[in-house]
């Protein structure tokens, strides 16, 4: 497991808000207040991924205020990214007020004042979100360009924004299964994704190091493959065309950033793994085997049987029989 998990119910009522505020304050140096201090409820998971911190939190309405005096006294020079999953927030930044709803992402900097609070602060409706705190020195983008994205809602529902959102939510969902040794690598992935996404927003991708662009492209390709396994026409040339790269460059990216597995082999392995899961699913025991194979892009039953046997040592029929034998 990566990260420390806090449940407010595990501490006395009078200490709950202070304990949660102390956890938030480890990476976000702001004044935190709430109208619900006397009966505060929160859950908070803090994941330290090398120099990067990612946290998920669910809490009763609160206010996070960082003023100019606090900036002058101490500036950790962090970029604070917030993905709102539930609730509504209002942010005052550079004299302008912005509101955010579930699914929105916004960014602020520890080097500038801000005032963020729950839009319905008087009600006991929990706010839920994921935060990312990255040293600005790790982001290969000019500061004057970065200032252009601060305080406003950023596109998070498609492209690199959606990919960043999916990665953060998936990482939180899998936190109990991740190992401490994974933390530095995950931190690198977070920095690469956020850098590439912000650069795309700023139309400044040329400022990113080639290695960052390649790793981000590799993750986009892997996501594309996973989402299109059902398509029998999913082939390396199709993938290359969809990403506006040459076939040879696709294979180069695969060798260097996708586990040195040929693209066609990766597609076949993913399809077989997905089909195997379905064959072992008791709720699908009446679904014909050829239907399951076709669902995952393998339209010829003979090809599916041959590939499945080569991968798992059993025919699809025998595997299903063995996997479901202990179910009534």
Q: Out of 26-35, 144-153, 262-271, which region has the weakest mean confidence (pLDDT)?
A: 144-153
pLDDT digits (tens, 9 = 90+) for 291-304: 999 999 999 999 99
User: Residue 5: which pLDDT band, with cuts at 50, 70 and 90?
Assistant: confident
User: What gap in Å lies between CA 256 and CA 84, rounded to an integer?
Assistant: 34
User: Residue 1: which pLDDT band, with cuts at 50, 70 and 90?
Assistant: low
Average pLDDT, the chain: 89
User: What gap in Å lies between CA 215 and CA 144, rounded to an integer?
Assistant: 25
Report which of residues 302 and 27 the model is more confident about: 302
Q: According to the 3-state scheme, what is the secondary structure of 109-165?
A: ECCCCEEEEECCCCCCCCEEEEEEEEEHHHCCCCHHHHHHHCCCEECCCCHHHHHHH
Query: What percent of the chain is predicted at pLDDT more than 70?
Result: 98
Q: Out of 42-51, 113-122, 285-294, which region has the weakest mean confidence (pLDDT)?
A: 113-122
Report which of residues 158 and 52 the model is more confident about: 52
- Model confidence at 215: pLDDT above 70: yes
Helix (H, G, I), strand (E, B) or coil at 263: helix
CA distances from 301 to 119, 225, 261, 324 (A): 56, 22, 25, 21
- Model confidence at 251: pLDDT above 90: yes
- Model confidence at 153: pLDDT above 60: yes
Domains of the chain in start order, with CATH, are 4-208 (2.60.120.10), 222-328 (1.10.10.60)
pLDDT digits (tens, 9 = 90+) for 109-136: 999 999 999 877 667 889 999 999 999 9
Whether 218 and 260 have beta carbons less than 8 Å apart is answered as no
Helix (H, G, I), strand (E, B) or coil at 88: strand
Q: Quote the pLDDT of residue 144.
A: 79
Mean pLDDT of 284-296: 94
User: What gap in Å lies between CA 234 and CA 201, rounded to an integer?
Assistant: 29
Spatial strand order in the sheet of 96-101 = 31-33, 63-66, 114-118, 88-93, 96-101
Mean pLDDT of 176-182: 86
Q: Quote the pLDDT of residue 78.
A: 93
Going through 60-125 in order, the beta strands assigned E by DSSP cover: 63-66, 78-86, 88-93, 96-101, 105-109, 114-118
User: What gap in Å lies between CA 79 and CA 109, rounded to an integer?
Assistant: 5
Q: What is the DSSP letter of 15?
A: G
pLDDT digits (tens, 9 = 90+) for 193-208: 999 999 888 876 566 7
- Model confidence at 173: pLDDT above 70: yes
Q: Quote the pLDDT of residue 327.
A: 78
């Amino acid at each position: 497991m990566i990260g420390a998990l806090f449940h407010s119910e595990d501490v006395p009522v009078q200490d709950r808000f202070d304990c949660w505020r102390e956890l938030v304050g480890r990476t976000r140096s702001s004044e935190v207040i709430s109208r619900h201090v006397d009966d505060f409820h929160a859950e908070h998971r803090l994941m330290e991924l090398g120099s990067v911190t990612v946290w998920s939190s669910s809490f009763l309405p609160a206010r996070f205020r960082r003023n100019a005096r606090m900036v002058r006294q101490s500036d950790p020079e962090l970029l604070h990214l917030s993905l709102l999953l539930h609730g509504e927030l209002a942010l005052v930044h550079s004299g302008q007020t912005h509101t955010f709803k579930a699914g929105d992402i916004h960014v602020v900097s520890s080097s500038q004042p801000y005032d963020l609070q729950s839009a319905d602060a008087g009600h006991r409706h929990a706010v839920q979100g994921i935060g990312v705190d990255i040293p600005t020195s790790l982001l290969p983008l000019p500061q004057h360009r970065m200032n252009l994205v601060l305080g406003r809602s950023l596109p998070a529902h498609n492209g690199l924004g959606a990919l960043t959102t999916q990665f953060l939510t998936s990482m939180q969902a899998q936190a109990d299964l991740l190992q401490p040794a994974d933390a530095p690598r995950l931190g690198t992935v977070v920095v690469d994704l956020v850098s590439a996404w912000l650069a795309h927003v700023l139309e400044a991708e040329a400022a990113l190091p080639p290695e960052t662009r390649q790793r981000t492209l590799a993750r986009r390709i892997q996501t594309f493959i996973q989402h299109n396994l059902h398509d029998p026409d999913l082939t390396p040339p199709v993938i290359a065309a969809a990403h506006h790269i040459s076939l040879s460059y696709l294979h180069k990216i695969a060798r260097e950033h996708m586990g040195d597995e040929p693209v066609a082999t990766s597609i076949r392995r993913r399809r077989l793994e997905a089909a195997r899961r379905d064959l072992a699913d008791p709720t699908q025991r009446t679904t014909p085997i050829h239907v399951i194979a076709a669902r995952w892009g393998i339209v010829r039953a003979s090809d599916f049987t041959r590939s499945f046997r080569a991968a798992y040592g059993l025919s699809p029929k025998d595997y299903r029989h063995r996997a479901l034998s202990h179910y009534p």
